[in-house]
Amino acid sequence: MSAAAIPAGESPSRRALRRFLRHRLAVFGLVVVVLFILAAVLAPLIAPYDPLQTSWARIRKPPSFEHWMGTDENGRDVLSRVIWGARASLMAGVVSVLGALCIGVPLGLLAGLAGGWADAVISRIADAMLSVPFLILAIALAAFLGPALENAMLAIAITASPVFVRLSRGMALDAKSTDWIEAARALGNPPWRTAFVHVLPNIIPPLLVQASLAIAEAIIAEAALSFLGLGQQPPQPSWGSMLNSSQRFLTQAPWLSIFPGATIMLVVLAFNLMGDGLRDALDPRAEKR
Amino acid sequence: MGLWLLRRVGQVLPTMLILSMLIFGLQQLMPGDPALILAGEERGDPQVLAAIRAELGLDRPLHEQYLIWMGKVLNGDFGFSWRIRVPVSELILAKLPVTFQLASMAFVIAVAIGVPLGILSAVRRDTPADWAANGAALFGISTPNFWLGIMMILLFSVELGWLPPSGYVPLTEDPWQSLATTIMPAFVLGTGVASVLMRHTRAAMLTALAQDYVRTARAKGLPERLVVWKHALRNALIPVVTLGAIEFGRLLAGAVLTEQIFTIPGFGKLIVDAVFNRDYPVVQGVVLATALIFILLSLVADILYMLINPRLRQA
């Protein structure tokens, strides 16, 4: 990008917004995410049927004008269950990543700014957790905590936190050597104030990028845990548990497998696109590739 | 080199120590008393419960329990399965070859798809070929592999009837049938890694192609083919090899759901069945074993990186 293209005096957030909007796929991702959030919030209003209402008269009916995504093995409307399932999936994605941020960022800042023993202990714990593959750790935690959506979210939050520890530790280390942190300290700011008022705002952009990619991963993880029966418990709808019960009817009712899975893919794709777009928009050093 | 290796191995030890504490600590999260689960029908008998607690050392203080557990683990004793009363280490060793076969096949597929696509999209940057490769990688990353598995069963087993939907035949028994039962799960498992490899290969190739030595090679009139394959690729592949070793570890984890879908009796099925049966020592054992394999692979990755990067070798 040539320097002349940048209007003089443009604020960083405006520039980020302009860059993000130029990224057509990222905007598409954002639109899809917003639509799904709306669907989750407005589920009671827009779902055509009660997601839990069973009916012996309409068991495993293929997609039709009345039931766009067909009906399941208990005669429930699949579209309504997919819409209500957005609540479990999006909540699991957002809440568990927020949890991971709340655990990971303070610990990472502490490790980076305090150094010494605190750094050694926190970093080793993060290393140890990162040495267990994400899904296996999440499954093990969820298994020991017991099967429930809340426990699955907690398990995902804990599993996702070391990434944020590493990220914020690295950023805190970078910030520590800068003049403005030196100045904040010299002015007599207590360490926690330096960390949260002076360091944190500066590392928000990379955290935001990582968070939106982490939400994509968390949604897949929630679906995986629910698929294994460790997340949302039936009859409450969730995309993962719908896929689990659909497997038995793969030959007779393939639509039961197709729609919930395609929905997961679409949402995850949207979060990934949004994350990529945010990275391009927020990272001033990112060269356009 | 020797000193570096020693230091690198030394770094692993505290990580493993903390890991062992975390995995031991998992037990403490468990709701309820393990003795009650183990006692089964006899759970009303306090004597039986006391005997079980004494046998498992549950009546001792926590730090003593940890030291006893750790001592056993160091001797290769991962406890025994609560359900079928078989040593956990035996179970793991029996299932590992199955998952290893699956993961190796998936890895070959991932490299065969990911690396050439990455090279292609870097060389043909900003052309439709590049966009298509990037789009494919994005879909590969965003598709939950258990759903991809179900869709492939639907297409290749239910609709076309080309491949068996589930089951597993060991390689030693019937190599051909073994391939037929594992090719679909291996592909499903490989797509995610292929996407990651593609993205990294592309980035590494773009960096390499922008280097001065590539400009020099072009300036002295070398054919583009030689510039790409000999000069750029060799250097671009260095970080990719490292990544490959780590991704192989991830395949072992990805196998959890894939094996579940295709009912392949491997490592992943072991942990899922153990979770359902509340067979906690098996869950612990599998987590520990995966972490050990993963740490070992990262070590191998670092050593490979040292060996193939001449600049680091001399340092």
Inter-residue contact A276 to A209 (CB < 8 Å) = no
Distance CA A69, CA A255 (A): 7
State how far the Cα of A129 lies from the Cα of A106, in Å rounded to an integer: 17
Instruction: Please count the residues of chain A.
Output: 289
Asked whether the CA dihedral A205, A164, A276, A221 is positive or negative, the reply is negative
What is chain B's mean pLDDT, rounded? 82
- pLDDT category at B15 given cuts 50, 70, 90 is confident
Query: Rounded distance, CA B123 to CA B119, Å?
Result: 6
Residues of A with CB under 8 A from a CB of B: 124-125, 127-129, 131-137, 139-141, 143-146, 216, 220, 223-224, 227-230, 243, 246-247, 250-251, 254, 257-258, 260-262, 264-265, 268-269, 272-273, 289
Q: B20 by DSSP, 3-state: which?
A: helix
Which of A18-27, B98-107, B262-271 has the lowest average pLDDT? A18-27
**What pLDDT does residue B310 have?**
64
Report whether B134 contacts A231 (CB < 8 A): no
**Shortest alpha-carbon distance between residue B294 and chain A (Å):** 6
Confidence of residue B169 (pLDDT cuts 50, 70, 90): confident
Pairwise CB contact (< 8 Å): B16 & A223: no
Mean pLDDT, chain A, as a whole number? 82
Question: Which of B14, B30, B276 lies nearest to residue A124, judging by beta carbons?
Answer: B14
In this predicted structure, the answer to whether residue A3 has a pLDDT above a threshold of 50 is no
Contact partners, residue B118, CB within 8 Å, separation at least 6: B133, B197, B198, B199, B200, B201, B202, B204, B205, B240
What per-residue confidence (pLDDT) applies to A102?
Answer: 93
Higher pLDDT, A219 or A14: A219
Compare B243 and A28 and report the one with higher pLDDT: A28
Least confident of A16-20, A86-90, B142-146: A16-20
Distance from CA of A185 to the nearest CA of B (A): 33
Do you know the residue count of chain B? 315
Specify the pLDDT at position A287: 44
Q: Provide the percentage of residues in chain A whose pLDDT is more than 90.
A: 13
Contact B286 A143 (CB under 8 A): no
Regarding predicted confidence, which is higher, A165 or A142?
A165
Q: Which residue among A140, A228, A262 places its CB closest to the CB of B26? A: A140
Q: Render pLDDT for A111-129 as a digit per residue (tens, 0 to 9).
A: 988 888 889 889 888 988 8
| A35-49, A213-227, A273-287, B168-182, range with the lowest pLDDT | A273-287
Asked whether residue B138 carries a pLDDT value surpassing 90, the answer given is no
* Whether the predicted pLDDT of B259 surpasses 80: yes
- Say what the ipTM of the complex is: 0.81
SS3 content of chain A, % helix, strand, coil (to 5): 75, 0, 25
Q: Copy the structure tokens of residue B225.
A: 């083919």
Work out the end-to-end distance of chain A between its first and last CA atoms, rounded to an integer number of angstroms: 12
Which pLDDT does position B32 carry in this prediction? 67
Closest B-chain CA to A239:
B147
| CB nearest A132 (choices: B30, B274, B287) | B287
**Chain A to chain B, count of Cβ pairs less than 8 Å apart?**
130
The pLDDT score that the predictor gives to residue A270 is: 92
Closest CB to A139 among B31, B151, B256: B256
Q: How confident is the model at residue A289 (pLDDT cuts 50, 70, 90)?
A: very low
Does position A101 have pLDDT exceeding 90, yes or no? yes
Q: Cis before residue A133, ω within 30 degrees of 0?
A: no
CB B256 within 8 A of CB B268: yes
> Which of B26, B150, B283 is nearest residue A257 as measured by Cβ atoms?
B150
Token pair, residue B169, equals 């035949």
Q: Which residues of B touch A131 (CB under 8 A)?
A: 15, 19, 291, 294-295, 298
Predicted local confidence at residue B12, as pLDDT: 82
Whole-number pLDDT of residue A267: 92
Residue A4's pLDDT is what?
A: 46
Indicate the SS3 state at residue B311: helix
- So what's the pLDDT on residue A9? 66
For B215-247, give the secondary structure using H, E and C.
HHHHHCCCCHHHHHHHHHHHHHHHHHHHHHHHH
* Contact list, B261 vs chain A (CB under 8 Å): 247
